[in-house]
């Protein structure tokens, strides 16, 4: 055996290896191709051998040849063979070759799945690494689906080298197999805090890449990233995170506020220019997002612009480039700030570096105003003349057109000038953008009525000088403008000075060398001109001109009749016959002009690009419905006697039909399209005229007479745009002078009255009046067009599939992973039960199963860890919150409320839909709210008001609710006195909320005393009022050491489980430890205890509480019946330990399971809702709530939040709501409000449950 190997390798010695191949190629400079083809033959021979070493060597050489551009896909199978070698050396060669030349349509990839899986679970980390690297290059949807679970397991591999690769490759897997994102996301998130910096960096990388496409789904990760940003030292990671924040801030302005400080710190501390630049960039993004709300940030923007100016002025070209790049970001929102640096940017246009010039061009777009447009364009025109290289010149051309035409020609004051600019641009040699100029000409001529006379004259000259444009084959792109010229001359021929001449120009024989579509336009418009000529000669006794025109047409048109282009031919022969007939009539002296003109009568109006899409569908027209009865699916259906089926049958079958048929329809449509495409007589709909130009084949093949032009290209009679600049300047001066005169007059008049007005100062934007009466005809839209601007994303974008909501992945019961979402795990197939003969395969399966079991264990552990993490982060939040409290108190003392913060908060609150207020969102809110939360400020105000003018009488009169006064007072005292005391914030919030409500009553009453005015106002502004922050946590028990609050949520996955989240907060100065939680089980509800423990054992809480700290634990309860609320008695025991002593303490509590807590927020569509109500299975019940004094949307939000409902539909002061219990009961509500009386009509399939839920709703509102 060993001998064989040695022999094999001795053979191999004489094979060419990679170095030999390279050397050989270099030595055969002259006949490289021939040499390589012999090498390929050798390689083919080598691949046929059994020796894997020889094969690997051959594959290695192939990889090199692939780089040189040789197709090596024929060796794909051999590559797979080498990949499956057991030796790392060869495996690596194989995977490298595969990564270089495999792609999605390589069919042998199917064969690799098992091999890759084996390599992934190899004990050698480098085998795994090599497989992951290779897979990252050629992963297909199939591979992604089959291997997703294996890769996920690798994400928690012991070796960081594997972990980081596995994490990174997940992005590729997500792209190919989007379903894997949700199940893999928690683990990915976990890797953000991996101890190894490489793994962490990989995770950041992946999440940044994901978030770049769908930033809103990753907002909830902001706190985590923030922590990483302040703790990481890896510049690469920092850059990624900072870039990510740049993408997130526009979605969440409060985030920006938090970022500013650490970013500025980084800017000051870092030495890496790359990091510094990204920081500046994100600061800009933050300022932009902030300033959209508040105007006073423009100063900071100015500062940034100043800093960027320094970058742009730097001698380092890279910084100059980046400075311009960042500047363009500011430009979008703050064009004014950038405009002041026009000088600098124009200077950059002269830079020798094209990249920099292009960036400067981008900036110019936003710098123009009515005042400077002409000047800037003049400068650009100079550049156009100077520019070498068509790409840059074409770029200039498009930019000029972009700049001028932006926002509906907003900045153009003189359209004559613009037309002449366009005409000047036609002199550009070899530009690709002829059609762009043409469409501008058409657009301006059609939409600016006043310019038509001028435009027509210009176009006529252009037509007359057409040889200039078509003279050179290179310049074919530009002859597109003739299309526009001919059309404009024809359509607006009444403005032509000398139509006869233009007609002659349009019928020159050379026209026949133009592309077909242009000729067609020529012919058609020649006919229009002909009509005009006839009309102008009407009534003229001397009919020679008219006859000349007819003769001209008859002489010239036959040339076009012979055209190879069908369109030209058809039009020409049609018109020729027409003219011949007209000539006959003319000879008989019959007046024909009227009839001929009627051929082309009617005004053409521009149509908005999306007009067609926006035509509203008339009522009662269902475009998807069948016009006739759908053809039967199968013959057997036909045979069924129809009479047997009752009326219901079609109702049910219909929707199914359409669903099936949609596919069928699409197929037929496709078939029809195919048919039409093959049918030469079918006139295809041309989507836009521009496209047609591009697609026209054979432009190059049309023989064009070459004219050697040595004459300068100044066409006599063509306008020079420069003269307009001067003219315009003069005009403006004149205007100004006139204005001054007028002003003087006015002033004189006014002097007798008031004092004089302030000086008009330098000319402002608005002062410049356009030279012509410019009436831009607006583009036509269909009547009652839909306003929606549905610029949807490209459906082919692979990232669209990754737009998946990830927020509520972890919070229990929100939308956990459904079974169908779990990653496919490999298991024994049924066939293997029969003992498959291949034993090694069996063994392989077993080995691949083992790590899986392990992984599930790991998962469980990870879950615990995660819980801990979450708790930790909560702790931190609470600490922060505490600081806020102190701040509040300061505010309270000053009696000031932070108004701007309040406003921003307000808008935010309104935006977040109350139906989906998930725990995560509110967590993020807590994290983000640096400034006091609105309720706090309000509370402050309340307290202040209460102190200043206590009016207990008023309160008791207006608030007939049952809440006693005392608790409120104690609360107040607490907030004031216990400065260091940590309080459970969520609970506190609720209290505040209540108080706020009181305050409402209070205020209301006060105003009521003074006069009804303000109370009316109160009623009208209800929509703008912020939603008070809400929390479901309510107090469970409290003593001097500890405060315990809880919330109950149903578990969607298991109809008999609820999760109780309990927050423990240490109120004292001592250490709390050994906490044990126990509940006395009832028949119906039981606390789930770990296996092996008795039914009365208590659960140890897995954490200790240092002074002032709170933490959360979760307990799962099993419940049988959920239709009744119930209370469970329980005790919490703990040890209070301080320096001197430790005591054992006990706290009793009652855990209240409300019926509400069994409900789960479930969205429901209105049609499903209607069906549900119609079904008649539901029992109804109703309640009335009196004296509810809160806006309707608050009311709904409250029901949604506290009782887990979702709004199905809302019409004015009436809303339908829906919820579902964990055991699948439907609960439907119809809530109406009329003058403080709320009536709730409810339906549910379980009357007892419904009754209890309604009672609880009543309870909630009686508390306010």
User: Shortest distance, CB of residue 171 to another protein, whole angstroms?
Assistant: 7
Q: From the list 185, 277, 530, 1218, which residue makes contact with another protein (rule: CB under 8 A)? A: 277
Helix, strand and coil content of the chain, in percent to the nearest 5, comes to 60, 10, 30
CB of 1100 to another protein, least distance (A): 42
Tell me the window of 207-215, 860-868, 978-986, 1162-1170 that interacts with another protein (CB under 8 A).
Answer: 207-215
Kindly identify the residues of this chain, within the stretch 346-405, that bind another protein according to CB under 8 A.
352-356, 358, 391
Element (H, E) at 236: helix 235-248
Instruction: Report d(CA 1221, CA 353) in Å as an integer.
Output: 67
| Residue 310 near another protein by CB under 8 A | no
List the alpha helices (DSSP H) in 679-704. 689-695
3-state secondary structure 709-744: CCCCCCCCCCCCHHHHHHHHHHHHHHHHHHHHHHHH
Segment 125 to 144, residues that bind another protein, using CB under 8 A: 126, 130, 132-133, 136-137, 139
Q: Cβ closer to another protein: 331 or 557?
A: 331
* Closer residue to another protein in complex, CB, 218/1077: 218
Q: Residue 169 or 1264: which CB sits closer to another protein?
A: 169
CA–CA dist 629, 476 (Å, integer):
54
| Binding range to another protein, per CB under 8 A, among 4-12, 626-634, 961-969, 1187-1195 | 4-12
322-351 residues in contact with another protein (CB under 8 A) are 322
Rounded Cα distance between 134 and 159, Å, is 19
Query: Could you say whether residue 793 binds another protein (CB under 8 A)?
Result: no
Q: Which is nearer to another protein, 6 or 110 (CB)?
A: 6
Q: With respect to another protein, which residue has the nearer C-beta, 22 or 294? A: 22
Candidates 128, 149, 201, 959; binder of another protein (CB under 8 A) is 201
Among 34, 103, 868, 1114, binds another protein (CB under 8 A): 103
* Nearer Cβ to another protein (195/1095): 195
Judged by CB under 8 A, does residue 206 bind another protein? yes
User: Measured from the CB of residue 395, what is the shortest distance to another protein in angstroms?
Assistant: 8
| Site for another protein, residues 45 to 64, rule: CB under 8 A | 53, 60, 63-64
Rounded CA-CA distance 255/797 in Å is: 29
When binding is defined by CB under 8 A, the residue of 110, 273, 671, 1016 that contacts another protein is 273
Three-class secondary structure of residue 1083 per DSSP: coil
Between 164 and 1226, name the residue whose CB sits nearer to another protein: 164
Choice from 55, 92, 370, 452 touching another protein (CB under 8 A)? 92
Minimum separation from the CB atom of position 306 to another protein (A): 21
Cβ-based nearer residue to another protein, 132 or 1101 = 132
Of residues 1122-1141, those binding another protein (CB under 8 A): none
Of the pair 277, 1117, the CB lying nearest another protein is at: 277
Q: How far is the CB of 230 from another protein (least distance, A)?
A: 19
Task: Give the residue, chosen from 274, 688, 827, 1100, that forms a contact with another protein under the rule CB under 8 A.
Answer: 274
Task: Indicate whether 230 belongs to the interface with another protein (CB under 8 A).
Answer: no
Work out how close the CB of 87 gets to another protein at its nearest, in angstroms, rounded to a whole number. Answer: 5
* Per-residue contact flags (x/-) with another protein for residues 518 to 557, judged by CB under 8 A: ----------------------------------------
Residue 161 within binding range of another protein, rule CB under 8 A: yes
> Of residues 104, 261, 670, 876, which one binds another protein by CB under 8 A?
104
Q: How far is the CB of 20 from another protein (least distance, A)?
A: 7
Residue 141 Cα distances to 103, 152, 198, angstroms? 11, 16, 27
Residue 903 to residue 900: CA distance in whole angstroms: 5
Q: Does 278 bind another protein (CB under 8 A)?
A: yes
CA dihedral (26, 29, 33, 35) in degrees, to 10, reads -60
E runs forming strands in 739-803: none
Q: Does 165 bind another protein (CB under 8 A)?
A: yes
Q: Which of 87, 829, 879, 979 binds another protein (CB under 8 A)?
A: 87
Dist. CA 1146–CA 1143, nearest whole Å: 10
Closest by alpha carbon to 895, among 951, 933, 950, 937? Answer: 937
Residue 12 touches another protein, criterion: CB under 8 A: yes
Size of the site for another protein (CB under 8 A): 82
Helix axes 373-386, 390-409, angle to 10 degrees: 160
Query: Which of residues 168, 224, 380, 1109 is near another protein by CB under 8 A?
Result: 168
Q: Find out whether 582 and 550 touch, Cβ atoms under 8 Å.
A: yes
Burial class (CB in 10 A: 0-12, 13-18, 19+), 383: middle
Q: Is 13 in the site for another protein (CB under 8 A)?
A: yes
CB 1076 within 8 A of CB 1042: no
Q: How far apart are CA 192 and CA 190, in angstroms?
A: 5
CB-nearer residue toward another protein: 8 or 630: 8
Q: CB nearer to another protein: give 1 or 601.
A: 1
Are the CB atoms for 722 and 372 separated by under 8 Å? no
Find residue 1148's DSSP bridge partners: 1131
DSSP states of 1031-1078:
---EEEEE-SSEEEEEEEEE-SS-TTEEEEEEEEEE-SSSEEEEEEEE
1137 contacts 1070 by C-beta, under 8 angstroms? yes
* Closer Cβ to another protein, 130 or 496, answer by number: 130
Q: With the CA atoms of 86, 90, 92 and 95 taken in that order, what torsion angle do they form, in degrees rounded to the nearest 10?
A: -90
Smallest gap from residue 256 Cβ to another protein (A): 20
Q: Do 1007 and 1015 contact (CB within 8 A), yes or no? A: yes
Which element (helix H / strand E) includes 228?
Answer: helix 222-231
Q: 419 with 441: CB under 8 angstroms?
A: yes
Cβ proximity to another protein: between 271 and 636 the closer is: 271
**Phi (first) and psi of residue 321, to 5 degrees:** -60, -50
The helix/strand/coil state of 1216 is strand
Question: Is residue 794 near another protein by the rule CB under 8 A?
Answer: no
First-to-last C-alpha distance (Å) of the chain: 89
Residue 236 binding another protein, by CB under 8 A: yes
568 within 8 A of 516, measured Cβ to Cβ: yes
Q: Which is nearer to another protein, 232 or 935 (CB)?
A: 232
Q: Which of 55, 117, 157, 172 binds another protein (CB under 8 A)?
A: 172
CA-derived radius of gyration, the chain: 40
Q: Does 147 bind another protein (CB under 8 A)?
A: no
Cα 366–Cα 371–Cα 374 angle in degrees, nearest 5: 80
806 close to 217: Cβ distance less than 8 angstroms: yes
Bridge partners of 1209, per DSSP, are: 1216
643 near another protein (CB under 8 A): no
CA proximity to 334, closest of 376, 357, 312, 306: 306
Choosing from 55, 117, 157, 164, the residue that interacts with another protein (CB under 8 A) is 164
The least distance separating another protein from the CB of residue 368, rounded to whole angstroms, comes to 20
The window from 316-324, 665-673, 956-964, 1137-1145 that contacts another protein (CB under 8 A) reads 316-324
Q: How far is the CB of 186 from another protein (least distance, A)?
A: 21
Nearer to another protein by C-beta: 240 or 556? 240
Query: Given candidates 10, 621, 796, 1211, which one binds another protein under the rule CB under 8 A?
Result: 10
Q: From CA 207, how far away is CA 188, in angstroms rounded?
A: 8
Comparison of 245 and 1205: residue with beta carbon closer to another protein: 245
* Binding to another protein in span 1004-1033, by CB under 8 A: none
Give the SS3 label for residue 616. Answer: coil
């Amino acid at each position: 055996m060993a001998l064989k190997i040695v022999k094999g390798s001795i053979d191999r010695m004489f094979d060419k290896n990679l170095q030999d191949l390279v050397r050989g190629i270099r030595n055969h400079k002259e006949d490289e191709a021939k040499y390589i083809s012999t090498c390929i033959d050798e390689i083919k021979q080598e691949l046929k051998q059994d020796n894997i070493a020889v094969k690997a060597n051959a594959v290695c050489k192939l990889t090199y040849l692939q780089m040189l551009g040789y197709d090596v896909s024929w060796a794909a199978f051999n590559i797979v063979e080498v990949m499956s070698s057991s030796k790392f050396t060869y495996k690596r060669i194989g995977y490298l070759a595969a990564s270089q030349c495999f792609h999605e349509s390589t069919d042998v990839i199917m064969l690799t799945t098992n091999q890759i899986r084996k390599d992934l679970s190899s004990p050698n980390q480098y085998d795994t690494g090599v497989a992951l690297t290779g897979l990252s290059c050629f992963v297909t949807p199939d591979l992604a689906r089959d291997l997703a679970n294996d890769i996920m397991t690798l994400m928690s591999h012991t070796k960081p080298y594997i972990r980081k690769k596995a994490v990174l490759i997940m992005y590729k897997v997500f792209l190919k197999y989007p379903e894997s994102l949700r199940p893999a996301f928690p683990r990915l998130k976990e890797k953000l805090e991996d101890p190894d910096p490489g793994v962490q960096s990989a995770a950041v990388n992946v999440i940044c890449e994901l978030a770049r496409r769908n930033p809103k789904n990753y907002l909830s990760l902001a706190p985590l990233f923030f922590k990483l940003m302040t703790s990481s030292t890896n510049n690469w990671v920092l850059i990624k995170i900072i870039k990510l924040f740049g993408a997130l801030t526009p979605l969440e302005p409060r985030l920006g506020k938090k970022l500013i400080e650490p970013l500025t710190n980084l800017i000051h501390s870092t030495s890496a220019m790359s990091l510094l630049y990204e920081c500046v960039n994100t600061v800009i993004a933050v300022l932009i997002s902030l300033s959209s709300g508040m105007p006073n940030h423009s100063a900071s923007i100015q500062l940034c612009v100043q800093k960027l100016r320094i970058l742009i002025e730097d001698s380092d070209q890279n910084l100059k480039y980046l400075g311009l790049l960042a500047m363009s970001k500011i430009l979008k929102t703050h064009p004014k700030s950038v405009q002041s640096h026009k000088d600098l940017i124009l200077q950059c246009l002269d830079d020798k570096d094209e990249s920099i010039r292009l960036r400067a061009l981008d900036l110019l777009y936003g710098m123009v105003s009515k005042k400077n447009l002409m000047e800037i364009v003049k400068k650009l025109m100079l550049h156009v003349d100077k520019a070498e290289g068509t790409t840059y010149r074409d770029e200039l051309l498009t930019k000029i057109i972009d700049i001028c035409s932006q926002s509906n020609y907003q900045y153009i004051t003189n359209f004559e000038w613009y037309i002449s600019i366009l005409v000047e641009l036609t002199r550009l040699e070899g530009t690709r953008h002829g059609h762009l100029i043409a469409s501008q000409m058409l657009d301006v001529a059609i939409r600016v009525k006043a310019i038509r006379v001028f435009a027509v004259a210009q176009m006529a000259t252009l037509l007359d000088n057409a040889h200039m444009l078509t003279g050179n084959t290179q310049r074919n792109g530009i002859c597109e403008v003739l299309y526009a010229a001919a059309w404009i001359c024809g359509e607006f021929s009444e403005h032509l000075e000398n139509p006869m001449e233009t007609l002659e120009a349009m019928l020159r024989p050379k026209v026949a060398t133009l592309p077909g579509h242009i000729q067609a336009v020529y012919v058609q418009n020649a006919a229009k001109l002909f009509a005009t000529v006839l009309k102008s000669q009407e009534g003229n006794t001397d009919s020679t001109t008219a006859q000349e025109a007819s003769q001209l047409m008859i002489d010239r048109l036959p040339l076009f009749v012979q055209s190879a282009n069908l369109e030209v031919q058809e039009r020409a022969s049609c018109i020729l016959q027409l003219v011949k007939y007209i000539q006959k009539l003319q000879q008989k002296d019959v007046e024909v002009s009227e009839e001929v003109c009627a051929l082309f009568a009617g005004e053409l109006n521009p149509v908005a690009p999306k007009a067609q899409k926006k035509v509203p569908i008339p009522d009662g027209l269902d475009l998807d419905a069948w016009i006739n009865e759908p053809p039967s699916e199968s013959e057997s259906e036909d045979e069924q006697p129809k009479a047997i089926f009752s009326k219901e049958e079609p109702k049910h079958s219909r929707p199914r039909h359409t669903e099936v048929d949609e596919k069928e329809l699409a197929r037929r449509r496709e078939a029809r399209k195919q048919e039409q495409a093959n049918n030469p007589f079918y006139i295809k709909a041309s989507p836009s005229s521009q496209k047609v130009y591009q697609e026209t084949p054979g432009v190059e093949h049309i023989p064009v007479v070459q004219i050697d032009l040595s004459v300068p290209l100044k066409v006599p009679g063509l306008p020079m745009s420069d003269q307009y600049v001067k003219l315009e300047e003069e005009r403006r001066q004149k205007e100004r002078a006139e204005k001054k005169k007028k002003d003087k007059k006015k002033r004189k008049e006014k002097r007798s009255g008031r004092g004089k007005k302030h000086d008009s100062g330098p000319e402002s934007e608005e002062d410049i009046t356009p030279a012509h009466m410019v009436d831009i005809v607006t583009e036509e839209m269909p009547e009652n067009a839909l306003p929606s601007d549905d610029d949807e994303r490209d459906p082919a974008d692979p990232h669209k599939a990754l737009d998946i909501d990830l927020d509520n992945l972890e919070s229990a019961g929100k939308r956990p992973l459904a079974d169908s979402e779990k990653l496919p795990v490999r298991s024994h197939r049924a066939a293997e039960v029969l003992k498959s003969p291949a034993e090694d395969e069996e063994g392989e399966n077993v080995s691949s199963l083992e790590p899986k079991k392990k992984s599930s264990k790991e998962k469980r552990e990870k879950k615990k860890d995660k819980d801990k993490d979450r708790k930790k982060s909560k702790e931190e939040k609470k600490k922060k919150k505490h600081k806020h409290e102190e701040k509040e108190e300061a505010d309270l003392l000053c009696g000031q409320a932070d108004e701007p913060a309040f406003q921003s908060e307000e808008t935010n609150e309104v935006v977040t839909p109350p139906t989906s207020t998930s725990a995560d969102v509110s967590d993020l809110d807590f994290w983000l709210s640096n400034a006091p939360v609105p309720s706090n400020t309000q509370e402050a105000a309340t307290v202040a008001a209460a102190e200043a003018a206590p009016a207990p009488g008023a309160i008791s009169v207006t608030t007939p609710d049952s809440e006693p006064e005392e608790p409120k007072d104690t609360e107040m005292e607490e907030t004031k006195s216990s400065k260091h005391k940590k309080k459970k914030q969520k609970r506190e919030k609720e209290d505040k909320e209540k108080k706020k409500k009181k305050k409402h009553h209070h205020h209301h009453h006060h105003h009521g005393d003074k006069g009804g005015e303000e109370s009316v106002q109160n009623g009208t502004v209800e929509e703008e009022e912020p939603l008070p922050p809400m929390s479901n946590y309510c107090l469970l028990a409290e003593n001097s050491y500890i405060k315990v609050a809880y919330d109950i949520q149903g578990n969607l996955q298991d109809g008999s489980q609820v999760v109780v989240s309990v927050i423990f907060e240490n109120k004292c100065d001592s250490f709390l430890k050994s906490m044990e939680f126990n509940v006395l089980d009832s028949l119906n509800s039981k606390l789930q205890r770990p296996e092996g423990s008795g039914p009365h054992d208590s659960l140890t809480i897995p954490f200790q509480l240092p002074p002032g700290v709170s933490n959360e634990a979760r307990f799962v309860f099993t419940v049988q019946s959920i239709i009744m609320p119930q209370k469970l008695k329980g005790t919490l025991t703990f040890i209070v330990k301080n320096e001197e002593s430790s005591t054992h303490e006990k706290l009793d509590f009652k855990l209240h399971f409300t019926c509400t807590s069994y409900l789960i927020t479930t969205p429901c569509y209105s049609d499903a809702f209607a069906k549900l109500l119609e079904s008649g299975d539901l029992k109804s019940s109703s309640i009335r709530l009196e004296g509810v004094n809160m806006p309707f949307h608050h009311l709904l939000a409250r029901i949604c939040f506290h009782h887990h409902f979702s709004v199905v539909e809302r019409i004015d002061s009436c809303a339908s709501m829906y919820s579902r219990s964990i055991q699948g009961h439907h609960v439907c509500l119809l809530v109406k409000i009329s003058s403080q009386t709320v009536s709730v009509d409810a339906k549910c399939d379980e009357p007892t449950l419904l009754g209890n839920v309604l009672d609880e709703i009543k309870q909630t509102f009686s508390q306010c």
